[in-house]
Amino acid sequence: MDMLSMMKQRRSIRKYLDKKVEWEKLEKIAEAGIYAPNPGGAQGTTVIMLDDAEVIDRIGVINAACENRNWSGRSVSADQPSIIDDLSIKSGFYGCPALGIVCIPKDRKTFVNGIGAAFTTAENMVMEAYSLDVSSCIVGRAEATFEKPEMQALLSEWGLDEKYMPLVFVCLGYIDGAYPQAKPRKEGRLLYIKKENA
């Protein structure tokens, strides 16, 4: 399948089977992340890959608590409800069995290119996951999630260099149910400016 078709078909998934993702696939997904574009060739992102469902759920509950869950009637998805759509969902990671945590240097957190590097890393990861038949969802609030002392202790336990901080999460797992179809694109989102031949 060509890359554009993959981009059109891949969706954010928030319903996962209780089934581990093979470690070999997780390694490929993490490797795809570190090949993402990085400003100035700095290779500034670090990826933590975690497949301990109990730890993932514990972090996910803290993550959900960092979100203002009252969006005044706005909805994220009827097919794949988010913590905004369904207040009974306790974890911001939706029961995923594996989790990628994309980290950047702390001194780059206010830089647009630092944030961009984290999200291009996450995008590479979700596209590689899709190519391996692994479902995924990019989730924010990583900085707020890891502000708590017990979360900082986890980073130390895992051996993350102190100059780095988590910025974005990538939920990974096998979808529970039918894969959702892409919605039609909104009109007026493409502007083509083509130079006429002289």
Rounded CA-CA distance 80/41 in Å is 36
Do residues 102 and 112 make contact, with C-beta atoms less than 8 angstroms apart? no
The pLDDT of residue 110 is above 90: no
User: Residue 194 above 70 pLDDT?
Assistant: yes
pTM: 0.92
CATH class of 3-173: alpha beta
Give the mean pLDDT of the chain.
Answer: 92
137 with 186: CB under 8 angstroms?
no
Q: What is the mean pLDDT of residues 118-142?
A: 97
For residue 191 the two structure tokens come to 């502007």
The whole-number pLDDT of residue 69 equals 72
